[in-house]
Amino acid sequence: MRKVIIIGSGPAGFTAAIYAARANLEPLLIASSVEVGGELMNTTDVENYPGFPEGILGPELMTKFQEQAEKFGTEVVYDDVTSLDLDGPVKTVTLGSGAVHETQSLIYATGSAYRKLGVEGEERLSGYGVSWCATCDGFFFREKTIAVVGGGDSAMEEATFLTRFASKVYVIHRKDTLRASKIMQERAFANEKIEFIWNSEVTDVVGEAAVSGVKLRSTVDGSVSDLALDGLFVAIGNDPRTHLVHDKLDLTPEGTIWVDGRSSKTSVPGVFAAGDVIDPTYRQAITAAGSGTVAALDAEHFLADLEDASVEIPAAQAAGIIA
Ligand code: NDP
């Protein structure tokens, strides 16, 4: 049986692994079978992670996280968790391969998933002009006209990045002000290839075999219009990935996993949560990393208490204090 299993390979998961490994807990980290490294794998330059004044590419940063975790003895498994049994003192983690792992404690750091618009044509044309990842798909839109939906940092980052390829990038936002940080806004406003379409929402993605445009509705007066496009990037935020635990752990009204105060303790003893899956507000690589630290320290204390209890009980029994 393992002392600690970590699910998730973003900044929270790997930081928890670094701390747990350095505490000699020999963690097993379950990364995904598809993409290891979490959301930063879809990012270009990370300019706000302390320690890298020149900036660092997202995938490179995650490779460093993993190297550091493995250096201290973390075992990484590339598979998907299909089910969890969190009842009782022994937690069971079942993987897609059929492998079953038992553990005394579990750190859940599965991050969040791209939010969808939920409009006609979005799913059907996914991969045929509709994308959630500019760094993955931007290359296919050389000299094309595309749009990014959203008004946050992701939308500004994607739009700015996509101007490297596209001849024109619209940003479609449902309000007339952006949620994005000032520096990201200014960078987008200064880019001649970017044009903002304010107070508008996408109601349909149109196209037969590939995206040919979108239908827009004004959020001010409800008027509708068509916009011809070769591609659409959806950057409207993320939802916490709780599908494996939504009926096993308490959730908050925002849909994140509930934790006790500033700790990582969930509603089930021995189960800790970290990163975007508990954070509806900040969701930065650095806050996720800090949260992974908290989870590893909480797991370490939990395991130490378990050990103390198993030592104390026989001693008390020997002394005739308890039956
Ligand atoms: P946010 O939640 O910050 O922004 C989502 C945006 O999408 C908002 O403008 C929101 O509109 C809009 N939106 C949400 N749902 C819909 C919908 N159904 N239809 C149309 N528009 C919608 O998400 P981000 O992914 O941008 O950022 C998440 C976090 O990651 C933030 O903390 C951000 O700072 C951080 N981040 C940092 C980066 C960096 O510093 N390099 C890069 C990328 C992200 P409205 O404003 O009306 O609510």
Query: pLDDT (tens digit, 9 = 90+) per residue, 20-69?
Result: 999 999 999 999 887 788 878 877 778 889 999 999 999 999 999 999 99
- 280 CB within 6 A, ligand 1: no
* Cα(311) to centroid(ligand 1), Å: 50
User: What is the reported pLDDT for 323?
Assistant: 46
> Contact, 167 vs 144, CB < 8 A?
yes
pTM beyond 0.85: no
Tell me what pLDDT residue 282 has. 87
- Cβ–ligand 1 contact at 149 (below 6 Å): yes
- The pLDDT score that the predictor gives to residue 164 is 97
* Å from CA of 126 to ligand 1 middle: 20
What is the C-alpha to C-alpha distance for residues 186 and 289, in angstroms, rounded to an integer? Answer: 28
CB-ligand 1 contact for 237 (6 Å cutoff): yes
Q: Whose CA is nearest to atom 14 of ligand 1?
A: 236
Q: How far is the CA of 180 from the centre of ligand 1 (A)?
A: 7
Of 275, 265, 239, 271, whose CA–CA distance to 254 is shortest?
239
Residue 171 identity: V
Range with lowest mean pLDDT among 33-47, 96-110, 258-272: 33-47
**Sequence-separated (6 or more) residues with CB below 8 Å from residue 170:** 145, 146, 147, 148, 194, 195, 196, 197, 227, 229
Cα separation, 63 vs 150, in Å, equals: 29
Residue-wise pLDDT for 157-213, tens only, equals: 999 999 999 999 999 999 999 999 999 999 999 999 999 999 999 999 999 999 999
